[in-house]
Amino acid sequence: MSDLILGIETSCDETAAALVEDGKKILANIVTSQIKIHQKYGGVVPEIASRKHLEAIIPVIDRALYTSQKKLEEVSAIAVTYGPGLVGSLLVGLSVAKALAFARSIPLIGINHLEAHIYANFLAYEELVPPLICLIVSGGHTSLVQMKDFGEYKLLGQTRDDAAGEVFDKISKVLDLGYPGGPIIEKLAKKGNPLAVNFPRPLLNNDKSFDFSFSGLKTAVIYQIRKFKEEKNVWKVEDVLASFQRAVIDVLVEKTLNAALAFKIKKIVLAGGVSANKLLRKEIKERAKILDLEVFYPPLPLCTDNAAMVASAGYFRLKDNKKSSLNLDAVSRLPLGRKKY
């Protein structure tokens, strides 16, 4: 008998619900985005985000059920993101999930948002199984995780300051390009010369850890922009963005490949919003091929926040009988795995 999981995701500014069968088959994946609302502020405003989740959550769940042609009575368990994320936003999805689980007397399964991003790959590749090296890279997170088995993780490294996607957003804001910065910068960078400016590659050459640091790179880019403007040099914004993007990708790719080689793991998965970057995908795939490593990344709709990935992760936890209490609380900072120093 198959298990039908209802996934709910409200960690930031997307209200999402999905129905997934046996952790692999997406029957419905509904996402309502707030990007247009937050664009005028240059980033997500937490209070506005939580209020919009309140308005959207029930209609989104209803639409997911309608699209999947399933009834709530057929759902085996409710999987919901409980962290990390914006607490106000998380509480909306978590409260609804608890109410549904209690009313239907079915299991509640709390899911780590970072873990869910990894499971986007299992929805796309049926043959994919651990062990894996996972690069999770988004607006709020940059982490390298060793996935030893389903539900078993070891944190290898993470950003010590700004996340990669966060820096894309901040550079875009400095240049008044718009929000979110990632897709905008990627588009403009295609027209630029990635060798025009030699930006630093933080924690790459003389650091043997798997940690990241992008704050210094962000500062270097901002100072370079100011310098060009003050000296009234002839410069192209596309060249600066191409050089900046290349620096970020060089660090992400090198660290990830080094981790795969260090732990003798042949499969790498990308996860999170920045994993949609085409240059990142191309570079890591080409480099990995030389090293006889496989690289997997989700289709574009599954890179950004969605509930199908939450439902998939929930299915595998349900199989291991790992259920959550109705006392489960939202957690703003929630690491995936433990890092041993």
- pLDDT tens digits, residue range 118-146? 999 999 999 999 999 999 998 889 999 99
In the chain, the amino acid numbered 206 is N
121 vs 302: CA distance, rounded Å: 8
Task: Delimit the domains of the chain by residue range.
Answer: 4-119+303-319, 130-298
Give this prediction's pTM: 0.93
Tens-digit pLDDT profile for residues 276-301: 999 999 999 999 999 999 999 999 99
Which CATH code for domain 130-298? 3.30.420.40
Summarize pLDDT for 18-63 with one digit per residue, the tens. 999 999 999 999 999 998 899 888 889 999 999 999 999 999 999 9
**d(C-alpha 114, C-alpha 257), whole Å:** 20
Same fold, 4-119+303-319 and 130-298: yes
Q: For residue 135, how many C-alpha atoms fall within 13 Å in the half-sphere facing its CB?
A: 33
* Proportion of the chain in helix, strand, coil states, percent, rounded to 5: 45, 20, 35
> Phi and psi for 111 in degrees, rounded to 5?
-120, 135
Sheet strand arrangement including 77-83: 25-33, 14-21, 4-9, 77-83, 108-112
Task: Report, at the CATH architecture level, how domain 4-119+303-319 is classified.
Answer: 2-Layer Sandwich (3.30)
